[in-house]
Each structure stands twice: as C-alpha cells, then as structure tokens.
Amino acid sequence: MKTKKFVLLVAALCALHVLPAQQEKLPVIKARSNQAEIKTNGVVRSTWTIVPELHPDVWKTREKEVTFCTDVDSLSFTINPKVKKEYDFIVLLNEKDSAFTRIQYGRESLDPKDLITLDFFALIPVNKPQNFTTKGFNRGFRASFSYPFPLGRSNYYVGVGLGIGFYNYYTSLLDKELSYKKNKLTITYLDVPLVLHYRSPKGLNYSVGAKIDFLVNSYTKYKGADGVFGSEKEVKFKKYHIADLAPVTFGPLLRIGWKKLSMYATYSITPVYNSNAGSKLNPICVGLSLSFAD
C-alpha cells in the first residue's frame, strides 16, 4: 500500500513539473515576406528564408546577442549556454503560416567549412619559347581541398589545403608539312594554396592568395602522320617525363564570385621551364570555379 502511494506521489510531482512546460507559450513575431535577417551584436550576420515546413528550422551561433529581423518585426535573445542552449520562437508568415524556428548555441551556421573547389580555366601562355607555338584552345582543370581557420568573428578566414592541377598545351609542329590531329603537352602539379577568403552573408565571396606547385608528371601526346619514316599512316604515341621543366613553380591566385560560382585567375611568376633550358613560359589561367562546402 505504501509503495502504491509513493508511486502516485512521484507521478503527481512529475505531472506538476511537466505542466508548466507544456503551457509555456513561445514568442511570436510576424512577417509578410519569407526573407529575414539575423543580426549578432547589431551586425547583419546572415540572410534567412522562412520555411514553415521545417520543424524546427535551426540557426546555430556562438554569439551572445542575437536578433531575428523580419520585414515588419524583430525578436532579440541573450544567449547563455550555461543556462540554455536552445531558444525557440514562432514566425507567423502572412497571418496564416507558422514557422517553428530555433536559435541554437553551437558552431555558427555561417562558419566557414571544409571547402572543395573545382576550377576550369583557359591557359594563356606568356613569355613563350621561340619554338613553342600553340594551336587551338589551351585549357586545364584543378581540384582542391581547403581547411578554414576563421579570423575571430569576422567573415574572413584563412584557407590552407592541397590541390592537383592538369595543364594542357596544344602545340604546333615545327614541320609545317606534317599532317597531324593532336600534339599536346600535359603537365600535372600537386599544389599547396594559402588563401585569404571572404564570405558575406548575402553571397558575395572573394579569395586572394598564392599557391606553390610541385611537378608530379608530364608527357606529350601525338596523333598524326609518321614523321620518322615519312609515312602517311596515322600513329599515336606518348612521351613521359619531359626534360627541362621546373620542379617547383609559384604564383598568385584570385577568385571573386557569388555563392558557389566564381571567376578564377592565376599567374605563374616562376617559369614553367628551368632557367638553364633557355626558355621561360609563364602561363596565365583564367576561368570559372565551383565551390562546395562540406
């Protein structure tokens, strides 16, 4: 009997504890547009799209003062993670749709994340050797991974990573009488970039830095008439490890764009060929970049 009374008493205490939580009303702010802004310490930190279908829609931050602003209303929170890490409220959109929204203490939603970037570019040869003439569209591709180091609470961060690039030069033959379809020089570099990035809450981004390229492979690929035996029969061959290429090159890097898409440019200050080769070749790369955050 005593046990039964004890169980009933515990159940009653639990009910009294849960009831106020159930009756607690969440703050409500109104909105006519589904676009909003989030401010931290009075500065716009991120744009926000109100989505009633999400339950909840979460934005994470490590800041202490956060204000959620719609086109007609606003709501401010003082974040104290020792007391509470989640702050819930309702955004009433157009007086009919309720969006359950949460400000949560944690890694910021705007924090730069690990970045994978794909670069597609045209190669513009500068300071070409006399016997180096190009034909057609010289082009290349580069893939890189960057790990971010945020600079305080600003929108700037330093990225350090690793990349690999493939540079294709479509060259002409010295023998003008020889018929051919392809004569290509391909150089592969493993590179280490060091870049200062900027990301605005609205989508603008730019990057300024440099990269060091380490030569890992090179070859020429020929497809055309047999120039050795004078035959018109088509031959194909590759020659690896091209002589006189510089083992290390260096140059600046620049990107500017909107969200995932950017314009990309680099310049090789260090010549592609060794100084003792009597040739230089300093390529400019201009193209587009696609960036993907982890």
Non-local CB neighbours of 57 within 8 Å, separated by 6+ positions: 50, 51, 99, 100, 101, 102
Q: In angstroms, rounded to a whole number, what is the distance separating the alpha carbons of residues 135 and 120?
A: 19
Predicted confidence at residue 181, as pLDDT, reads: 72
Question: Would you say 148 and 114 are in contact if contact means Cβ atoms under 8 Å apart?
Answer: yes
CATH class of 115-293: mainly beta
d(CA 35, CA 40): 17
With a pLDDT cut of 90, the percent of the chain lying above it is: 45
pLDDT at 231: 62
* Average pLDDT score, the chain: 83
- Residue 146 has which token pair? 């960057």
pLDDT tens per residue across span 54-82 = 888 888 888 889 999 999 999 999 999 88
**pTM summary value:** 0.65
C-alpha triplet 190, 194, 199: angle, nearest 5°: 120
Which parts of 51-157 fold into alpha helices (H)?
none
Residues 229-272 have pLDDT tens digits of 556 677 788 889 988 899 999 999 999 999 889 999 999 999 99
Domain ranges of the chain: 25-105, 115-293
Sign, CA torsion 55/61/65/66: negative
Decide if pLDDT at 275 tops 70. yes
Residue ranges of E strands in the chain: 28-31, 35-40, 43-49, 57-61, 65-69, 74-78, 86-93, 97-105, 115-124, 139-150, 156-170, 180-199, 204-226, 231-240, 248-258, 261-267, 284-293
